Amino acid sequence: MKVALAGTESLTNYIAALKANDIEVINTLDIDKALKCDGLLLPGGGDIDPKYYGEDMAGSDKPDRELDKAQWDVLDAFVKAKKPVLGICRGMQLINVYFGGSLYQDLKTKETHSRKNGVDSVHSVKSIVKGNLFENLYGRGFYVNSAHHQGVKKLGEGLVSVLEAEDGVCEALLHKDLPITATQFHPERMSYKQRRDDTVAGEGIFEYFKALLKQLG
């Protein structure tokens, strides 16, 4: 199995989590190369240009417009091919915007969610849809890491918010019809050699993604 990892930031932990599941990683933003893979992972990173959801800059950090366009196009290709997609942090936000959603450009409660002195924050989340993937993995309430200052505002068409933080910020999305899974938190920094004792283990999310790849990739 192969996964296209479409990013330019530090990708070490994503690669390690995928390889721990015997998944070959192809780091590419090229659509043709990506589509030869069984699935797509959209990793974390900087802020998306708010023009993609019809807003001016109002709290977003300076976007990488070239990366925005490249990731958008790769996501579009995988959606049309109905291949599995896993979005993490920025990746989840991009998925939401792609389906017509919008973002809070700078959360009022960002102190709860952003990194502090280069270290992930930790906070609780709760399941808001009975029997969803994450509830089945971890229960109705659990702790995750956090490293973001933006969040889902308007929900994209076809997406379901299934986890929320205590302040109501969306922490995970699933698509109603497509094999798309997305988290605001970073399971790759809660898994395998990066596992921590103050959050749940992130392995289950990558194992679920692997199962989707086997079934649909």
Q: Report domain extents, the chain.
A: 2-216
Say what the pLDDT of residue 90 is.
Answer: 98
Assigned token pair, 94: 């991009």
In the predicted structure, residue 164 carries a pLDDT above the cut 90: yes
Q: Which of 135, 164, 171, 188 is catalytic?
A: 188
Any idea which residue has 């109705």 for tokens?
140
Residue 188 appears among annotated catalytic residues: yes
- What pLDDT does 110 receive? 76
Band of the pLDDT at 38, cuts 50, 70, 90?
very high
Which regions of 54-134 does DSSP assign to beta strands (E)? 85-88, 103-104, 121-127
Nearest residue to 94 (alpha-carbon basis) of 2, 186, 182: 182
Mean pLDDT in residue range 84-110: 97
From the candidates 37, 89, 113, 171, which is the catalytic residue?
89
What number does CATH give the domain 2-216? 3.40.50.880
Global pTM value: 0.96
17: left (phi over 0), alpha (psi -120 to 50) or beta: alpha
How many whole angstroms from its chain centre is CA 127? Answer: 17
Mean per-residue pLDDT, 151-175: 98
| 84/41 Cα distance (integer angstroms) | 9
170 has catalytic annotation? no
Select which of 164, 175, 186, 203 is catalytic.
Answer: 186
Residues in the chain, overall count:
217
Which is more confident, 117 or 17?
A: 17
